Amino acid sequence: MSAITHHVPDAILASYAAGSLPQAFAVAVASHVSLCAHCRGALEAHQAVGGVILEDTKAVAVSASLKDSILAQLDAPYTPEPVYERNGIFPGPVMEVMQRHAPRWKKLGMGVRQDILSADAHGSVRLLYIPPGQAVPDHSHNGLEMTLVLQGSFSDETGRFGVGDLEIADETVEHTPVADPGAACICLAATDARLRFNALVPRLLQPLFRI
Amino acid sequence: KNDYSDETIWMLAVRDTRDRGAFAALFDHFAPRLKGFLIRGGASPQQAEEIVQDVMLTIWRKADMFDPHRAQVSAWIYQIARNRRIDIARKENRPMPEALKEEPELEPDASQILGLEQETTQLKQALAALKPEQREVIEKAYLGELTHQEISMQTGLPLGTIKSRIRLGLQRLRHELKDLTQ
Ligand SMILES: [Zn+2]
Ligand SMILES: [Zn+2]
């Protein structure tokens, strides 16, 4: 826990608290907060601000029947929402996106594997498996990329990232994450736009692998 | 304990003794504010009432998740309302951090609970002291109307003390946190 050194920036935590963060990033942030007491405290502080604003909001009268209708439902049976718990290296929010499956790895070459957990026009969430010493193909970003380490560690031009660390890279960052020696590095990567790989072959492969 | 705010006393009565009168008091206090809040956030009046109903039922059903050492009632309800709003607007479940469950034998720590209430009051005063334009930006951010890029340009809120206060509450959960890392 104390080993986490790369946290969620405050503006992103506020955006997550307010519910305005795109889904893919919300998965990455919720996963980091599941691992990080520091960011959990900060997130709850943002919720406190939201609570103060809620308290100060001008009241609008509710319909006369609403209260009785709710009181009448207090004992009604209901289906509780599913609870997703951590499983091994995967925090609850990742288990939710995986729908409790084990990862379904697809080879990307050079021992690198990925599992796209969700992808649509707004963004994607995937798991990356990088063998020790291996690099994620050289790439730049159209938008924002969040990478959360779940196992092992990687290093790139900006520093070293171990379990629980969250790297945030945008258009201005061109980096080559390389898995450190030891255990294979498994990361959760969330993007709001497709990554652009700089080498020719990976670019050709991009549509194929929906990176 | 008598020094706790009404909202906290009501919520603890709901949590610990399933007190319907206290729940009705919470409804009277929060339902009209929630409705106003949701309408400001873009919901229609009818949609807002549906969400208010969902939120109030969630408060009743998930009362055992309320921890006054870490959250004011308003903060807890804010978070529930945001989640319901997103679930309905985007038709997808908002990913949530894993819940931390408090050890049942832990005694309530009144100084921590009151300390958090004081911090929140100070936060409220700090917000009230902002220039109207500034305050509007902050409100927009927490209503979910600003992107994180826009939020990062806003002037910082004085969150320092409330953060450390909430972390104190979190320290009570050290054992659970230790389990999480194993
Ligand atoms: Zn953190
Ligand atoms: Zn990258």
- Is the pLDDT at B159 greater than 50? The verdict is yes
Compute the average pLDDT of residues B30-57: 95
Q: What angle do CA B96, B58, B18 make, to 5 degrees?
A: 130
**Structural domain of B18:** 6-181
C-alpha–C-alpha distance, residues A139 and A160, integer Å: 18
Q: What is the mean pLDDT of chain B?
A: 85
pLDDT of B50 strictly over 50:
yes
Is residue B40 domain-resident? yes
Per-residue confidence (pLDDT) for residue A207, from 0 to 100: 53
A137-153 pLDDT, tens digit each: 767 677 889 999 999 99
Query: Who wins on pLDDT, A178 or B91?
Result: A178
Task: For B161, name the nearest residue in chain A, comparing CA atoms only.
Answer: A45
% of residues, chain A, pLDDT over 90: 68
**Is there a contact between A1 and B57 if contact means CB atoms under 8 Å apart?**
no
Task: Count up the domains in chain B and report the number.
Answer: 1
In the reported structure, the alpha carbon of residue A29 is separated from the centroid of ligand 2 by a whole-number distance in angstroms of: 17
Distance of CA A46 to the CA centre of its chain: 19
**For residue A28, how far is its CA from the centre of ligand 2 (angstroms)?**
14
**CATH code for position B114:** 1.10.1740.10
- What is the average per-residue pLDDT within B25-31? 98
Taking the centre of ligand 2 as the mean of its atom positions, its distance from the CA of residue A33, in whole angstroms, is 21
Answer yes or no: is B88 within a domain: yes
- Based on its alpha-carbon atoms, the radius of gyration of chain B, rounded to whole angstroms, reads 17
What are the domain boundaries of chain A? 1-211
Asked if A163 and B182 count as a contact pair (C-beta separation under 8 A), the reply is: no
Distance CA A43, CA A55 (A): 18
C-alpha closest to that of B42 among A63, A47, A20: A20
Q: Looking at the complex, report in whole angstroms how far the Cα of residue A154 sits from the nearest Cα belonging to chain B.
A: 19
Predicted confidence at residue B177, as pLDDT, reads 46
Lowest mean pLDDT among A23-32, A67-76, B2-11, B171-180: B171-180
Which two structure tokens, joined as six digits, stand for A160?
């070293």
Q: Which residues of B touch A19 (CB under 8 A)?
A: 82-83, 85-86, 94, 144
Work out the minimum CA distance from A6 to partner chain B, whole angstroms.
Answer: 16
Q: Which stretch of DSSP H or E encloses residue B88?
A: helix B73-90
Question: Which of 2.60.120.10, 3.40.50.450, 3.30.870.10, 2.70.170.10 is the CATH number of A1-211?
Answer: 2.60.120.10
Helical residues (DSSP H) of A91-157, grouped into ranges: 92-98
Q: At residue B136, does pLDDT exceed 70?
A: yes
The larger pLDDT score, comparing residue A176 to residue B14, is at B14
Mean pLDDT for A47-67 is 95
